């Protein structure tokens, strides 16, 4: 806390006490109620330390919250990536099956035509 802020707090405390003294005209009571200046400074210092501790705690909590948000976002991205991967794998399997289905008739035709060539090679040529 800057010196300016400390002075503003002390002045504010003095104004509050002056207002209280204005409502209570007995000067002996107002002077006895007012803590010494050293004690006021100690209270202010303690309050400043508490404020700093709370600010640190707030910063830590904000950092934890941001980390948890990033983790949740990453988890969502992972789920989406897994979904896309599964869909892509299913599509690839479908295409592979379609390729296999189209290749089976071709291989059967190749076996058939290969068989006829073997037969013709084994035949004895006819006399002309």
Measured distance CA(70)–CA(67) in Å, rounded: 5
Q: Is 8 a residue whose pLDDT tops 90?
A: no
The pLDDT value recorded for residue 29 is 52
The pLDDT value recorded for residue 66 is 98
pLDDT band at residue 30 under the 50/70/90 scheme: very low
Least confident of 6-10, 12-16, 65-69, 111-115: 111-115
Q: Is 23 a residue whose pLDDT tops 80?
A: no
Least confident of 16-20, 39-43, 46-50, 92-96: 16-20
Q: CA angle, 60 as apex, 58 and 64 as ends, to 5°? A: 115
Measured distance CA(113)–CA(71) in Å, rounded: 62
- The first and second tokens of residue 22, run together, are 């204005």
């Amino acid at each position: 806390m800057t010196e300016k802020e400390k002075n503003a707090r002390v002045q504010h405390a003095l104004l509050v006490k002056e207002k209280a003294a204005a409502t209570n005209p007995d000067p002996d009571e107002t002077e006895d109620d007012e803590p010494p200046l050293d004690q006021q400074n100690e209270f202010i210092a303690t309050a400043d330390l508490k404020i700093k501790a709370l600010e640190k705690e707030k910063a830590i909590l904000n950092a934890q919250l941001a980390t948890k948000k990033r983790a949740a976002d990453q988890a969502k991205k992972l789920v989406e990536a897994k979904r896309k991967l599964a869909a892509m794998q299913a599509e690839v399997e479908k295409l592979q099956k379609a390729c296999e289905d189209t290749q089976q008739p071709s291989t059967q035709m190749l076996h058939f035509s290969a068989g006829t060539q073997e037969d013709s090679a084994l035949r004895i040529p006819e006399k002309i």
